[in-house]
Amino acid sequence: MSEILKPRARKVKILATLGPASSKPAVIRTLMVAGADAFRINMSHGTHAQKAKLVEAIRQLEKDLHRPTTILFDLQGPKLRVGDFAGGSSEVETGARFVLDRDRTPGDARRVELPHPELFEAISKGDRLLIDDGKVRLKAVEVHDDRIVAEVMVGGTLSNHKGVNVPDVVVPIPALTDKDRKDLAFALEQKADWVALSFVQRPDDVAEARELIGNRALLMAKIEKPAAIERLNEIIALSDGVMVARGDLGVELPPEDVPPMQNKIIAASRQFGKPVVVATQMLESMINSPTPTRAEVSDVATAIYDGADAVMLSAESATGDYPVEAVQMMDRIAQSAEQDPVYPGRVHFTETVLEATTADALAASARQIANTVSAQGMVCYTSSGSTARRIARERPPVPILAMTALLQTARRLGLIWGVRPVHTRDVSSFEEMVAKGKRMALRHKLAAGGERLVLMAGVPFGTPGSTNVIHVVRLAGDELERHQPKQP
């Protein structure tokens, strides 16, 4: 059955992770109808065959619901883990000495294998080692070629293959493992719209992934290491977007430092005009509960007030008991925040300095014009998506209808604030541009008869990066009547 989804009553986007709780086509459809604008496929779990079925289901829904839909493949990245314990686990006591070595013998309360030789070169006396998301905390007191002697600052239970974080060190390993390279090749075969790169520490990590991806997908850098914060602007400049991955970031930073870091990353991304996604534990309690905590609701709203392009659901939609309810809740929170009278001021609290380009000058002018003439929407024609992104950077007061002849571009715009991507045939003249802009605005309920639109395009048409026209039009009342769907 074919239908057209109603336009979203919000500008921030919802990125929902798919998993065991949401892998069936019927559930994915329900998530999309409930408010999911884009889908994340987590390559840390499952097989390529399972992921291919998810892509197939999304692309079929895209056709059925007439909505270009974004697919983001999230690469696992290198995971540092301890080895095995005799009996599967062991208790380590606060104040005791504990050794991490290269001996494969199963560990106990005094030692365990650390199967990452590069760490023995990187760790120095005084550096911290956080195990199992920081539940057990160690501090190196001696470092040798084959063992690290540590003091247990916070004890607890250690079990097989728990993760290790080293917040004080730039780990000398690449962001792409052999598994990641295979997963990346698969994602590109599946025509991924975005690829998220985990464990980014330095600009070189992004450059390596960019070389492999080329122009076949957009690249999102996940900011989850303190080392990445130190070179944030360089990383953003090389990326197409960033994700505030608060999971590992919250392990490696003191909890009280995460909110200002989140704000800093959002502000920097806004300045570059790159989309920013806020992720991890946004509605965590909805994994097992049909309603979130009030604190979680405030957390999501804060990201929206700060101007994030998208907010993400992880386990809530992938493995939780209430995936659809989580998307619906995220949608309601976003609508409530954006309807708040203080929202326009809050979202512009971060000042975006214009670059000395025609595109930025026109984007800023278009936003001012939309305000001045009380336009109901903005319509832009774009080949690469750049025009839509530069307009979105200005956070205009109205939705942006981004029309493109390239389905790939329409899909990639699904994570951009305020943008409603439309895949349509290209135009060849100014008159055709105006007529189609009006027609699409009516069809997608962007405006009604008597209301104004601000149109942007580049002349000559079809030339990427040539945006040079702003045009204000008013929809006549008879146009609304002509474009109403006929009753059977």
Angle formed at CA 267 by CA 72 and CA 130, multiple of 5 degrees: 70
Determine whether 67 is an active site residue. Answer: no
Q: Name the residue with higher pLDDT: 5 or 428.
A: 428
Q: For residue 130, what are the domain limits?
A: 86-165
Whether residue 447 sits in one domain with residue 376: yes
CATH code for the domain in which residue 386 is found: 3.40.1380.20
In this prediction, residue 464 carries a pLDDT of: 64
Residue 1 lies in a domain: no
Whether residue 446 sits in one domain with residue 377: yes
299, exposed or middle or buried, with CB in 10 Å at 0-12, 13-18, 19+? Answer: buried
Determine whether 443 is an active site residue. Answer: no
Whether residue 334 sits in one domain with residue 222: yes
Active-site residue identified among 81, 179, 202, 346: 81
In this prediction, residue 239 carries a pLDDT of: 97
pLDDT class for 482, splitting at 50, 70, 90? Answer: very low
For residue 467, report the phi and psi dihedrals to the nearest 5 degrees. -60, 120
Q: What pTM, to 2 d.p., does this model score? A: 0.91
Residue 314 lies in a domain: yes
Residue 4 lies in a domain: no
Residue 244 lies in a domain: yes
Whether residue 71 sits in one domain with residue 143: no
pLDDT class for 466, splitting at 50, 70, 90? Answer: low
Least confidently predicted of 233-242, 312-321, 378-387:
378-387
Residue 286 lies in a domain: yes
Tell me, letter by letter, the H, E, C secondary structure of 255-304: HHHHHHHHHHHHHHHHHHCCCEEEECCCCHHHHCCCCCCHHHHHHHHHHH
Whether residue 362 sits in one domain with residue 302: no
CATH code for the domain in which residue 127 is found: 2.40.33.10
Residue with the two structure tokens 């000559």:
460
Residue range 215-238: mean pLDDT, rounded: 95
Active-site residue identified among 280, 382, 387, 467: 280
pLDDT in tens, 162-206: 999 999 988 888 889 999 999 999 999 999 999 999 999 999 999
Active-site residue identified among 8, 10, 40, 67: 40
| Tokens coding 466 | 């040539």
Residues 120, 148: contact at Cβ < 8 Å? Answer: yes
pLDDT class for 480, splitting at 50, 70, 90? Answer: very low
Whether residue 198 sits in one domain with residue 149: no
Determine whether 280 is an active site residue. Answer: yes
Determine whether 81 is an active site residue. Answer: yes
In this prediction, residue 462 carries a pLDDT of: 60
Residue 97 lies in a domain: yes
Residue with the two structure tokens 């979680």:
296
Residue 460 lies in a domain: yes
In one-letter notation, the amino acid at residue 232 is L
Whether residue 157 sits in one domain with residue 110: yes
In this prediction, residue 413 carries a pLDDT of: 97
In the chain, the percentage of residues whose pLDDT exceeds 90 is 73
Question: What is the rounded CA–CA span in Å between residue 30 and residue 323?
Answer: 10
Among 131, 165, 199, where does a domain finish? 165
Whether residue 40 sits in one domain with residue 109: no
In this prediction, residue 481 carries a pLDDT of: 42
In this prediction, residue 352 carries a pLDDT of: 77
| Tokens coding 296 | 């979680």
Active-site residue identified among 11, 128, 222, 412: 222
pLDDT class for 4, splitting at 50, 70, 90? Answer: low
In this prediction, residue 483 carries a pLDDT of: 43
Question: What is the rounded CA–CA span in Å between residue 411 and residue 388?
Answer: 13
Among 110, 136, 165, where does a domain finish? 165
What is the Cα Rg of the chain in Å? 24
| Tokens coding 143 | 């470092």
pLDDT in tens, 373-386: 999 999 998 888 99
Whether residue 278 sits in one domain with residue 196: yes
User: In 85-135, at which residue ranges do the beta strands (DSSP E only) sit?
Assistant: 89-92, 97-101, 111-113, 128-131
Whether residue 277 sits in one domain with residue 409: no
Whether residue 150 sits in one domain with residue 101: yes
Least confidently predicted of 74-83, 102-111, 474-483:
474-483
In this prediction, residue 214 carries a pLDDT of: 95
In this prediction, residue 461 carries a pLDDT of: 66
Among 165, 186, 221, where does a domain finish? 165
Question: What is the rounded CA–CA span in Å between residue 353 and residue 271?
Answer: 7
Whether residue 326 sits in one domain with residue 424: no
* Domain tally, the chain: 3
Question: What is the rounded CA–CA span in Å between residue 131 and residue 101?
Answer: 15
Residues 329, 299: contact at Cβ < 8 Å? Answer: no
Question: What is the rounded CA–CA span in Å between residue 130 and residue 29?
Answer: 40
Residue 461 lies in a domain: yes
CATH code for the domain in which residue 271 is found: 3.20.20.60
pLDDT in tens, 122-164: 999 999 999 998 999 999 999 999 999 999 999 999 999 999 9
